[in-house]
């Protein structure tokens, strides 16, 4: 008898530890409308993303040079470390969702640009 793989056998699935199941009722309870809650989270995520992008651009601007030579590209470890740090940061949507659930976001109905951190 030859051993053939069983297509129905359970496969190991690696799940990202940053993924969490959230209760939709938590979102709806804060604003009274799930869609408004998602909109608030999205606006806050854009704010976070813009801030992080500006910070990264400012830090990487220090390394900008007019002439790119091969030695400079391989020797710039600090720039690589800064980039890796920003890559490892949580995604803006995750941060915004956590802030929303923890009541750290102040939002006002009727004013679409009024998303503030408490």
Query: In this structure, are residues 45 and 100 in contact, taking their beta carbons and an 8 Å threshold?
Result: no
Classify residue 36 by burial, with Cβ atoms within 10 Å: 0-12, 13-18, 19+.
middle
More confident residue, 7 or 105: 105
What's the whole-number mean pLDDT along residues 51-76? 76
Interatomic CA distance for residues 105 and 40, integer angstroms: 9
Indicate the pLDDT class of residue 5, thresholds 50, 70 and 90.
low
- Percent of the chain at pLDDT > 70 equals 68
- Note the pLDDT tens digit of each residue in 70-106: 666 666 778 888 888 888 898 999 999 999 999 998 8
| Neighbouring C-beta atoms of residue 45, cutoff 10 Å | 20
Taking only Cα atoms into account, the Rg of the chain, rounded to an integer number of angstroms, comes to 22
Q: Is the pLDDT of residue 23 over 80?
A: yes
Indicate the pLDDT class of residue 2, thresholds 50, 70 and 90.
low
pTM of full prediction above 0.85: no
């Amino acid at each position: 008898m030859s051993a053939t793989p069983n297509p129905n056998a359970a496969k190991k699935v690696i799940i990202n530890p940053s993924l969490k199941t959230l209760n939709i009722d938590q979102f709806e309870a804060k604003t009274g409308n799930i869609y408004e809650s998602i909109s608030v989270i999205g606006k806050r995520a854009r704010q976070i993303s813009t801030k992080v992008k500006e910070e990264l651009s400012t830090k990487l601007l220090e390394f900008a040079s007019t002439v790119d030579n091969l030695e400079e590209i391989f020797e710039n470890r600090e720039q690589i470390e800064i980039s890796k740090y920003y890559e490892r940061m949580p995604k803006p949507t995750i941060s915004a969702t956590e802030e929303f659930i923890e009541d750290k976001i102040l939002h006002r109905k009727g004013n679409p640009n009024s998303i503030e951190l408490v």
